[in-house]
Structure 1
Amino acid sequence: MKRTKIFIAILLFFQFLAIGQQHETVGKSPWGPQDQIGTLNMMTEASKLEVLSKISSGKTYDLSVDYFVGMPSFHSLGDPGYQYWLTHTPHGTIVDNPNGLGERMNKKVSYTGDAISMYTHMGTHIDALNHFGLDGKIWNGYTPEEYLGDKGWKKTGAETIPPIIARGVLLDVADAKGPLPKNYRITSQDLQLTLEKQGVELKPGDVVLIRTGQAEFYEDAPHYLDNYPGIGLDAVKWLVEEKGIMLLGGDNLSFEAFPPEREDNWVPVHTYLLAEKGVMFIEQLYLEKLSKDAVYEFAFIAASLKLRGASASPMRPIAIPMNMKE
């Protein structure tokens, strides 16, 4: 009898997982069958002008991290690390004479050139909507059979991401709750507590940046990669479905917390945002100076490289304090 009950419990558990999987389906865009940018359609000329008109300071906060050899990366998944090499040096140019202009010219004109090789999901970057899908499809029902070539996706590539100007809000969870435990999963209650302590309200169309405190350890890759705090599924659902946010970001490696909170999906936050809701997000932000100065509301201005067909692109966002008084 006991074994029967255990069997029934296991059966019901796997039925629950199956139901969960049934609810995960690629979203169809409310902006039409040709949409490739999802919720970034919420930006308008008027909304951008309103944000810019409220800038109250010339002070800017750089929200991006440095790129360097040995920086944190997804090498555990088989992705390449950041590589840098010199293609020309002042002394080498004298010896090699690659321009054919001779020793005298090359001694006078000191020439340095360099090159890099990197995974697109390194450093401060934005994930495009083709990064993760469900059941072979990505956002808006685009399929690899029709839209994925040898040189990248023909739809929702990083080149489609427009420059972003919007109201930004820092949710300093690490300050509101204190240092987060290892692999801590941020909840919607945590976000509400943080907003209450900061005295800030979210508005539809906001860019919401979440601080876990991980950026403090970015220069120490082993330390940074030994802890995966991040946002949980109920928290992003609250932000998207109840608060109408346009774009998300975090200071951690992969935005959501690990290990995964579901057994039927190893990246449920990624697939919910990118595939189901068309919401992009930025990873590996630097939010320490905003936190130190208690700047919670600001003009968020950012643009990414137009990497055609790519699933992500480096980004250098800035925050400029706003005057929130009407």
Structure 2
Amino acid sequence: MSANGPTEDELRRLFAEICNWGRWGAEDELGTINLITPAVRARAAATVTEGLCVSCARAVELDGYREDGPGDEWREPPVLSLHLPDTGQPGRGVGIAVDRFAITAHGKHTTHLDALCHITFDGRMYNGRTAEHLTSAGATAGDVALLADRLCTRGVLLDIAALRGGYARPGEPVRTDELLEAERAGATRVGPGDALLIHLGRDARWRAEGTGVAEPQAPPMVDYAGLHPECLRFFRERDIAVLVSDIGHDQVPPVGGIGMPVHIGALVHLGLPLIDGAMLEGVVRAADRLQRREFLFTAAPPVIPGATSALVNPMALF
């Protein structure tokens, strides 16, 4: 690939090289989730020896946040409203509070699952389906509801932030050799059906350089660390089933001639679901303390037919 990042032609050749279209049949809507077999789940369950459970979700910022840069103008702050109980007699009788949530699932401030229908490229989504499957009323293929009871497998943590001395920075995309180095450092091997968790140190960077939320003294975070598109080959060769990171996988500004190449390669061509914006500091601490990088990984979205995404609470069980 070109020294300054892959050209559009190079990326298109890469997408064709890794493509999983037709691998599990012409009607398939699950993509790499097919790799999470009962045997894979059984082996994953055997990694639970401590009974320690760690959430990999970040808190939803109900106090609001500002836009991070161009392209975020569609995203409104989340809203939680309560209908408060009224018993008619204060301090007596039953009281029932009722919640109403309004939230944009996609974005950098929420831990969310990208279903395969989230991204199209050249008018196509995973397995060659046309973009006509996306309507204002919802997607008619590859939606998040299909993943409601599928994401239970072995998780493997690759701690790129530790290799970088604290956190990854924009302009220095993670390359395949770093994935291999992190794998060796963790004394484990990423394999078929795994959920791969890549820790880039987003939160350490935010603490050091500003969060990009509603803090006047903090610089806007319009640049994001991410993966080089060449990592897509690693994901295909190892046959991972789910990709998780603490930011959005793609570097911003993008590497090469096409924006969001990791999202395009993963969702459209590999059929690889993504979990963006995870909170991985807790699982890193647990992995460091226990001196192991594998665990049982689960994530369950709500059953929302037609949705391209949903908030999730991924869990690592050691």
- With the shorter chain as reference, the TM-score category is 0.7 to 0.9
8 Å CA contact 1:176, 1:197 repeated in 2 = no
Flag the structure with higher helix content. Answer: 1
Residue from 120, 126, 129 that aligns with 2:116: 129
Q: Is the 8 A contact 1:203 1:243 kept in 2?
A: yes
Structural mapping, 1:103-122, within 5 Å: 103-104=88-89, 108-122=93-107
Match of 2:46 in 1: 53
C-alpha distance after superposition, 1:43-102 (max 9, x if no partner): 122221222133212111111111122257777422222332424224xx46xxxxxxxx
Q: 1:82 — aligned with what?
A: 77
2:21 paired residue number? 28
Greater mean alpha carbon deviation, residues 24-33 or residues 276-285: 24-33
**Match of 1:190, as an amino acid?**
E
Q: Mind listing any 5+ residue stretches in structure 1 that lack a counterpart?
A: 1-12, 95-102, 322-326
Using a 3 Å threshold, how does the CA distance of structure 1 residues 27 and 51 change in structure 2: closer, same or farther?
closer
How far the C-alpha of 1:214 sits from its partner, in A, is: 0.6
How many residues of Structure 1 are paired with residues of Structure 2 in the alignment?
Answer: 293
State the 1:114 CA deviation.
2.5
Structure 2 counterparts to residues 216-295 of structure 1, below 5 A: 216=204, 217=206, 220-222=211-213, 225-240=221-236, 242-252=237-247, 254-263=248-257, 265-293=258-286, 294=288, 295=292
Is the alpha carbon distance of 1:79 and 1:201 closer, same or farther for their aligned partners in structure 2, counting shifts above 3 Å?
same
Partner amino acid for 1:192?
A: L
CA distance in 2, matches of 1:33, 1:73: 40
Match of 1:169 among 156, 159, 166: 156
Displacement of 1:21 after TM fit?
3.9
The residue type equivalent to 2:55 in the other structure is: D
C-alpha contact 1:72 1:225 (8 A) present in aligned 2: no
- TM-score, with length taken from structure 2: 0.83
Are 2:137 and 1:151 equivalent residues in the alignment?
yes
> Identical aligned pairs, as a percentage?
24
Check whether the contact 2:117–2:134 (CA below 8 A) recurs between aligned residues.
no
Aligned partner of residue 254 in structure 2, secondary structure: coil
Structure 1 position 135, deviation (Å): 0.8
Equivalent residue runs for 1:194-233 within 5 Å? 194-216=182-204, 217=206, 220-222=211-213, 225-233=221-229
Given that residues 74 and 81 in structure 1 are in contact (C-alpha distance below 8 angstroms), is that contact kept between their aligned partners in structure 2?
A: no
Q: Secondary structure at the match of 1:233?
A: coil
Q: What TM-score comes out, normalization by structure 1 length?
A: 0.81
Q: How big is the alpha-carbon RMSD for the aligned residues of Structure 1 and Structure 2?
A: 2.6
